[in-house]
Amino acid sequence: MQSLSVAMMKRIQAQGNNQEYQKTVERVFSDPQIQAFLNQHQAELTPESVQRDYSKLYEFFHENQLILQNQTSIAPGYQPKLLINAGQIDVAYVPSAQLRAEQRAKELRDRVTIISMPKWLPAANFDDFYTDDQQGSPSRNLALEEALKFCMNYSVDHFQPGLYLSGSFGVGKTYLLGATANELAKRNVKTTILHFPSFVVKMRQAIQNRTLNEERDQVSQAPVLMIDDIGADVMTSWARDDLLAVILEYRMQAELPTFFSSNMTMNELENHLAEDNKDNVEPLKAKRIMQRIQYLSREIDVQGNNLRMS
């Protein structure tokens, strides 16, 4: 222990007369972090000020002990830090690395609005995206590259179409959408990602709750929207005309990038959209919607093995 610390310690020890107190003071002054702090701030401290503010050194020491022993501290998740404030020793509480990481993860999660998507979606990311020979495929790698490019070039002021990922079940279309949304979150961009068939059901309930307009507007206005599994279900004319067409019309006018995933190619989707569940055929309505989709996104046919099997 440095002579300055020893002198200070002796001075404080002299204030008490029981042994327990003497021992505690010694432990406080033997703490490497407290010693480093006193050394670093020698010029700003005097024996009197250290004596006066000894309770702060003790607080720092005690809190650290509680944290080390995994006991409840005054501010769980926060780490005590010694500092000098207007000539006085003080203790500030700063978020621990673990708390900061949790806060950051929550901020990122809050930037992605998820409507009826698989549980693993928040964990999807580019780093774990399969690109090796076994799992990767040229078209999947191309889709990944385009998604990355989108994230790098994204800007609110400059419209960039999203991707329309077509391809069979299990090739990783949804995973890629999720990874893209999570990457955008890191870049401070908010995304809404929804499973289209479930979204239609949800919006039907919204009619009963009289929240349809509000909920549909929120989706229409999302800075980036991802519509997963479009075409997976028979589309009612209501879902087509009052949901999909309204949302896409808004997004085209406002130039808001939109992603899609589908088991169908754009051509196949056009036929699918032309027929509703009552066997009415409306090719013009379908064409109009397809024009919106083509404006808002670029088609990539993703091929590869079924990742659900591997």
Name which position in 175, 196, 199, 259 contacts ligand ADP (CB under 6 A): 175
Please report, as residue ranges, which positions from 149 to 178 form the binding site for Mg ion (by CB under 5 A).
174
Q: Whose Cβ is closer to Mg ion: residue 174's or residue 180's?
A: 174
Please report, as residue ranges, which positions from 174 to 213 form the binding site for Mg ion (by CB under 5 A).
174
Decide the pairing of beta strands 191-195 and 112-115: parallel
Please report, as residue ranges, which positions from 202 to 261 form the binding site for ligand ADP (by CB under 6 A).
261
Shortest Cβ 245–ligand ADP spacing (Å): 24
Note whether 40 and 59 are within 8 A (CB): no
Which residues, listed in sequence order, are joined to residue 79 by a DSSP beta bridge? 94
Q: Whose Cβ is closer to Mg ion: residue 45's or residue 244's?
A: 244
Q: How many residues bind Mg ion (CB under 5 A)?
A: 1
> What stretches of the chain show up as alpha helix (H) in DSSP?
3-13, 19-30, 32-40, 47-52, 54-68, 97-110, 138-153, 173-186, 196-208, 212-221, 237-238, 245-254, 266-274, 283-296
Q: Which does 210 bind (CB under 5 to 8 A by kind): Mg ion, ligand ADP, none?
A: none
Q: Which does 60 bind (CB under 5 to 8 A by kind): Mg ion, ligand ADP, none?
A: none
| Under rule CB under 6 A, residue 21 binds ligand ADP | no
Name which position in 25, 114, 147, 171 contacts ligand ADP (CB under 6 A): 171
Q: Whose Cβ is closer to ligand ADP: residue 79's or residue 262's?
A: 262
**Residues engaged in binding ligand ADP (CB under 6 A):** 120, 128-130, 169-175, 261, 307-308
